[in-house]
Amino acid sequence: MTSPTPLPTGRSRRRDVVQRPPAVFVVLAVAGLALFVVPLAGLLVRTPWSNLATLLATDVVTQALWLSLVSSLGATAISLVVGLPLAWLLARVEFPGRRLVRGIVMLPLVLPPVVGGAALLFALGRRGLVGGPLERATGLVVPFTTWGVVIASTFVAMPFLVITVEGALRNLDGRHEGAAATLGASRWTVMRRVTLPMIAPSLASGLVLTWARAFGEFGATVTFAGNLQGRTQTMPLAVFVALDGQRDAAVAMSLVMVIVSLVVLVALRGQWWPSR
Amino acid sequence: MTSSDAHKAGSDTPGAVAAPRDTTSSGPGLRASLGVAQSAEFDLDADVVIAPGTTVALLGPNGAGKSTAVAAIAGLRALDRGRIELGGHVLDDPVADVFVPAADRRIGVVFQDHLLFDHMSVVDNVAFGLRAGHVPRGEATARARDWLDRVGLAGVEQRRPRQLSGGQAQRVALARALAPMPDLLLLDEPLSALDVSTRANLRRSLASHLDEFAGPRLVITHDPTEAFLLADEVHVLEEGRITQVGTPDDIRLRPTTPYVADLAGANLLTGRVRDGVVKVAGGGELHVADHAVAGDVLVTVSPTAVTVHRGRPEGSQRNTWSTTLERVELLGDRVRLRTRPPVPLTVEVTRDATDELGLQPDSEVWIAVKATEIGVQPDSDV
């Protein structure tokens, strides 16, 4: 009947009121952000910029950094190889005790890392459940070696991959995989060309979380692999040691870890999460 | 093109899209006896035989077992009983312990909501089946482009499926299903995800693509219009059982169950509308309430929306005319009447009414239809 009249001119103002966030939220959010920013600022202020290069060019630092990178990437790779099938089984296959298995996989998330390291030691140590027979059979000794670092890091970090990927697989519309099958695709082709690409964003964030957790790993590593420079002393361990007496070196190494983490995060964002 | 002309030719009875073909031959088509134990209360037991070059519609309400039938034929779930044979090959036979997985069945499926792969371009979607069949990349892409061209979608090759309209996505899904040259084309509710006007457009092009496909074709749908316009033969599926099989005309004019009578029994006419008046193909006029639609239309009239009188009805109804009855059929406590021209209609009345009016074949009657009870939808050619 009547044609719609133009909206009153006060509209945008009204909308501003509706969209304005509650003041309490803003204050609390800023406090939360400060918890991240202030320590970083503290680190930057305390950084001995003038002799940074000298501090970092020591064997201790380069070896620790190299070890950290190798072991965290190794842990991420192992997590991908065994964690992806594990996530797939948990998401797709009904088997007795699935809830229990899922609980076990999630346990390292809540378990204190030191306890995890101790458990690894009891299992894989030279007199451990598996470690003894393993050494007798192959001569391989895991604890207090670089392999020990990788295994300790995998132990604490892999749940991040499994939990992320399992969630993605559960939320995935499985009918796309059925559609691919009707087009003649084998199970392997379906996995490679449909399932994995469809969960790629989750897989990428799972990998980043896993790597980040492994890169910063301290407790399980120091317990299971010890603190041997050049073999098991990763950056976090080196920082912890340096804090006792060599504050400047500790700060410099911390800064390096911050930078490496940021670089990896930004690089992965660009390459693995293309803005579609 | 010829096929769409053929559709137009039989326009006074649009259900008769094509002469029914012999589906009983033991030739190379689909022979399926589907037995699936779904749950304690419900199982599927349906036989479907489709000769090459024939379109069969499996028409049924939600929950009738249509999706189960799709999954069983496509190979996405195994039969509990029965047997599926396509082109002389056994695809599933629990007794003989044969189960050919979906990937090896050569059945092209157009899924209800298309299920296009959003992480690939449109052309890669269409090439997917060819690539899975080890066709080299370059050739697969070239053939996929051809298919896109054939469904009228040249130019969208590099888009993502999510950037397409519903109608475009449907045609990509069709091209994707057809590209690997399947032995059977299976369409699951091919038009239901689309809006009304797109549906009318696509129904025509879909009908012609179906006609071009040489193998057996199976359309699964809950929409009687879709079934009648696309299929040579309709199988009605209710609660897991086939309750009626026949040509679209058989089903519409001689329904044997209340479901078919209610849903499939709707009168379906074609015509041209202008200023709220439909010139019905084959003669007669109908006034409709919807004045916004113009051009070629599909007109639906529910059999229960028509009233029958012995004398000229009183009041302001504009859709009234006199005619005689061709048929009177008992259907439980209801009676179905079929009227003669100018506008032949199927009418459903109560038994009390027939008794009261003394209706029998050749009775002279007055027919009245409220304009608001007439459904009109555009039926434009593409």
CATH of the domain at B294: 2.40.50.100
Q: Say which range, A67-71, B240-244, B328-332, has the weakest mean pLDDT.
A: B328-332
Q: Which amino acid is at B156?
A: V
Q: How far is B162 from chain A (nearest CA, A)?
A: 11
Domain shared by B237 and B281, yes or no: no
State the pLDDT at residue B259: 75
* A102 has a pLDDT exceeding 50: yes
* A29 has a pLDDT exceeding 90: yes
| Count of structural domains, chain B | 2
Q: Are B119 and A197 within 8 A, CB to CB?
A: yes
pLDDT tier at B341 (50, 70, 90 boundaries)?
A: confident
* B75 has a pLDDT exceeding 70: yes
Cβ within 8 Å of B, A 195-234: 197-198, 200
pLDDT tier at B62 (50, 70, 90 boundaries)?
A: confident
DSSP state of B108: E
Mean pLDDT of B274-296: 78
pLDDT tens, residue by residue, B211-233: 999 999 999 998 887 888 889 99
Token representation of residue B172:
């990509």
Token representation of residue A156:
């604490």
| Torsion from C-alpha of B123, B125, B128, B131, nearest 10 degrees | 20
Instruction: Please state whether beta strands B334-339 and B346-350 pair in parallel, antiparallel, or not at all (unpaired).
Output: antiparallel
Average pLDDT along chain B = 82
Query: Distances from the Cα of A28 to the Cαs of A24, B292, B349, in angstroms?
Result: 6, 56, 70
Domain shared by B318 and B211, yes or no: no
In a domain, B62, yes or no: yes
pLDDT tens, residue by residue, B181-204: 999 999 999 888 777 677 777 888
In a domain, B316, yes or no: yes
pLDDT tier at A7 (50, 70, 90 boundaries)?
A: low
- What percent of chain A has a predicted confidence (pLDDT) above 90? 66
For an interface test with A, which of B67, B118, B119, B147 has the most A Cβ atoms less than 10 Å from its Cβ? B119
Which of B264, B286, B305 is the last residue before a domain boundary? Answer: B264
- What percent of chain B has a predicted confidence (pLDDT) above 70? 87
Q: Which amino acid is at B222?
A: H
Q: Are A176 and B115 within 8 A, CB to CB?
A: yes
What region, left, alpha or beta, does residue A245 occupy, with left being phi > 0 and alpha being psi -120 to 50 degrees?
A: left
Set of chain B residues whose Cβ sits within 8 Å of the Cβ of A189: 132
Mean pLDDT of A39-68: 91
State the pLDDT at residue B349: 81
State the pLDDT at residue B329: 75
Which of the pair, B26 or A69, is modelled with greater confidence? A69
- What percent of chain A has a predicted confidence (pLDDT) above 70? 90
**Could you say which of A184, A187, A198 has the minimum Cβ distance to residue B180?**
A184
What residue in A sits closest to B173 (Cα-Cα)? A179
Q: Does B259 touch chain A (CB under 8 A)?
A: no
pLDDT tens, residue by residue, A133-176: 888 888 888 889 999 999 999 999 999 999 999 999 999 888 99
In a domain, A127, yes or no: yes
Q: Say which range, A93-102, A129-138, B170-179, B343-352, has the weakest mean pLDDT.
A: B343-352
Q: Does A179 touch chain B (CB under 8 A)?
A: yes
Question: What is the domain range of residue B284?
Answer: 267-378
Token representation of residue B233:
């033969």
Set of chain A residues whose Cβ sits within 8 Å of the Cβ of B102: 178, 181-182
pLDDT tens, residue by residue, B96-131: 999 999 999 999 999 988 999 999 999 999 999 999
For an interface test with B, which of A172, A176, A183, A190 has the most B Cβ atoms less than 10 Å from its Cβ? A183
CATH of the domain at A143: 1.10.3720.10
Q: Are A183 and B75 within 8 A, CB to CB?
A: no
One DSSP character per residue, B291-335 reads -S--EEEEEEE-GGGEEEESSPPPSS-SEEEEEEEEEEEEETTEE
Which of the pair, A166 or B376, is modelled with greater confidence? A166
Mean pLDDT of A62-85: 95
**Could you say which of A182, A186, A200 has the minimum Cβ distance to residue B109?**
A182
Q: Are A178 and B74 within 8 A, CB to CB?
A: yes
pLDDT tens, residue by residue, A235-258: 999 999 999 988 899 999 999 999
Q: Does B132 touch chain A (CB under 8 A)?
A: yes
User: Which strands make up the sheet holding B89-93, listed edge to edge?
Assistant: B98-99, B89-93, B81-86, B30-37, B43-50, B241-246, B233-238, B55-59, B217-221, B184-188, B107-110
* B147 has a pLDDT exceeding 50: yes
Between CA B70 and CA B32 the distance in angstroms is 11
Domain shared by B98 and B214, yes or no: yes
Question: Cis omega before residue B342 (within 30°)?
Answer: yes
Q: Say which range, A257-261, B123-127, B334-338, has the weakest mean pLDDT.
A: B334-338
User: Which strands make up the sheet holding B277-280, listed edge to edge?
Assistant: B285-287, B277-280, B267-274, B295-301, B374-378
Domain shared by B208 and B99, yes or no: yes
For helices A235-243 and A59-78, angle between their N-to-C axes, nearest 10 degrees: 140
State the pLDDT at residue B316: 67
Domain shared by B89 and B207, yes or no: yes
Which of the pair, B222 or A33, is modelled with greater confidence? A33
One DSSP character per residue, B239-266 reads TTEEEEEE-HHHHHHS--SHHIIIIITS
pLDDT tier at B148 (50, 70, 90 boundaries)?
A: very high
Q: Are B107 and A182 within 8 A, CB to CB?
A: yes
Which of B264, B280, B297 is the last residue before a domain boundary? Answer: B264
**Could you say which of A178, A183, A198 has the minimum Cβ distance to residue B132?**
A183
Give the HSE-up count for residue A106: Cα atoms under 13 Å, Cβ half-sphere. Answer: 12
What residue in B sits closest to A184 (Cα-Cα)? B103
User: Residue A6: is it exposed, middle or buried by C-beta count within 10 angstroms (0-12/13-18/19+)?
Assistant: exposed
Mean pLDDT of A175-198: 94
Give the HSE-up count for residue B335: Cα atoms under 13 Å, Cβ half-sphere. Answer: 20
Domain shared by B196 and B282, yes or no: no
Query: Whats the size of chain B, residue-wise?
Result: 382
Set of chain A residues whose Cβ sits within 8 Å of the Cβ of B128: 180, 183, 185, 193
Which residues pair with residue B335 across a beta bridge? B330, B349
